[in-house]
Amino acid sequence: MTEYVVQKYGGSSVATPELIARVAERVQATRESCTGVVVVVSAMGDTTDNLVSLAHQITDDPPSREMDMLLSAGETITAPLLTMALAARGIKAIALSGLQAGIRTSASHRKARITDVVPLRVLDELARGNVVVVAGFQGATEGMDITTLGRGGSDTSAVAIAVAIGASSCEIYTDVSGVHTADPRLIPEARPLADISYEEMLELAAVGARVLHPRAVEIGEVYGMPILVRSAFDQSAGTLIHRSPAMENRQRVRGIAHETDVAKMTLVHVPDRPGIVAALFGAFGAANINVDIIVQNVSHDGTTDVSFTLAETDLCEAEKVVAELVPRTGASGYEASANIATVSVVGTGIRGAPGVFASAFQALAGAGINIQLISTSEIRLTCVVDRAQVEDAVRALHHVFLAALDDDHLV
């Protein structure tokens, strides 16, 4: 029985020739205990940013098809370099581009979706005893045009390839030692979780946990591919993302996430008629502006306030859309605020445990933090707060829910 493993190394893990040599050492250790290893790599360090900057020195509005060809160079550099480092250690290895690895995508340049992985070449090279090093983040259309997968692209490449070749697991190597109970840069006592469900990881990632992109988690969930997130720089065990293992024994709250690059807008006194909110978010969709949290309260006197959060970088564009829309909706006006943040409590146990909400609000109140908006899902509570208070908010929530976490659930 052949056992394949896919490993993905992010940009900070391959930022220099020395670090690439360390990754090769790690891959070698895996190869010794495993039939076949596929390694997916990101661009070295700041390479992608530098390429974007080159393009913007030439034009403010680079065509996205050419941008993809340009950006693909980043991973096309790392993959052969790691392969050389493996060869230098006597490990048989071969580098493949996304195209060569069979990553077929839509033609939506800069944010292409993987439509299929045709792993013939990858399986062939594994059968020849090669470690296969694949350039992440990139794929190709039917017509062989190069595409890139957008944010989280290399994670997505890795999980998709793992599914396509029937790997036993997909390991994501990064600069932190797993999925933490909160951002360890903010909360020194935050600890890595031993495991987490796909669903919880999706919610955490959606509300600010940067460790793994939601797209990769989604593919893992759909195909039941276990994803292990661990550090490229130490030997700690990492966090396993997999099917919810033992629901009854779970902790209520698994992690606290936060986001600071958030803005908020409110449409004031919107007439409570069908179609108005649809028109607003339709216009946002057309302008390619993603809205995160939407809150609309019950209507009094025939009007209501509609609030929503969005990425701070989209605020300027969104204000233009809203300013144009307000007179046509009969709203009395709008408010915009860039100076906010979100803090979220995530965990399967929140469902059916109203005490969690009460404890959260109590903790925030105790820290003197005013809650501007509240949004909940089955497994998540998100509060919008003043940006200056977000660190206090994360600390207060982590202290209440996670400081005394059962050691069985930690690394």
Minimum distance from CB of 326 to a second copy (Å)?
35
Distances (CA, A) of 71 to 27, 81, 136: 25, 17, 11
Contact 147, 112 (CB under 8 A): yes
Structure-token pair, residue 202 = 């999706």
At residue 19, φ and ψ (nearest 5 deg) are -65, -35
Identify which of residues 67 and 410 has a Cβ nearer to a second copy in the complex: 67
Q: How far apart are CA 258 and CA 266, in angstroms?
A: 21
Minimum distance from CB of 133 to a second copy (Å)?
9
Examine residue 152 and tell whether it contacts a second copy (CB under 8 A): no
Examine residue 17 and tell whether it contacts a second copy (CB under 8 A): yes
Which of 34, 55, 283, 336 contacts a second copy by CB under 8 A? 55
Identify which of residues 73 and 405 has a Cβ nearer to a second copy in the complex: 73
Examine residue 65 and tell whether it contacts a second copy (CB under 8 A): yes
Instruction: Say whether 197 sits in a helix, a strand or coil.
Output: strand
Instruction: Look up tokens 């493993």; give the residue.
Output: 5
Q: How far apart are CA 158 and CA 156, in angstroms?
A: 5
Structure-token pair, residue 353 = 């445990």
Identify which of residues 135 and 193 has a Cβ nearer to a second copy in the complex: 135
Q: DSSP 3-state helix, strand, coil percentages of the chain (rounded to 5)?
A: 40, 30, 35
Minimum distance from CB of 56 to a second copy (Å)?
9
Minimum distance from CB of 28 to a second copy (Å)?
14
Examine residue 57 and tell whether it contacts a second copy (CB under 8 A): yes
DSSP alpha helices (H): ranges in 252-336? Answer: 276-286, 315-329
Examine residue 81 and tell whether it contacts a second copy (CB under 8 A): yes
Which of 14, 123, 146, 394 contacts a second copy by CB under 8 A? 146
Binding site for a second copy (CB under 8 A): 17, 20-21, 51, 54-55, 57-59, 61-63, 65-67, 69-70, 72-73, 76-77, 79-81, 83-85, 87-88, 94-95, 97, 99-100, 144-146
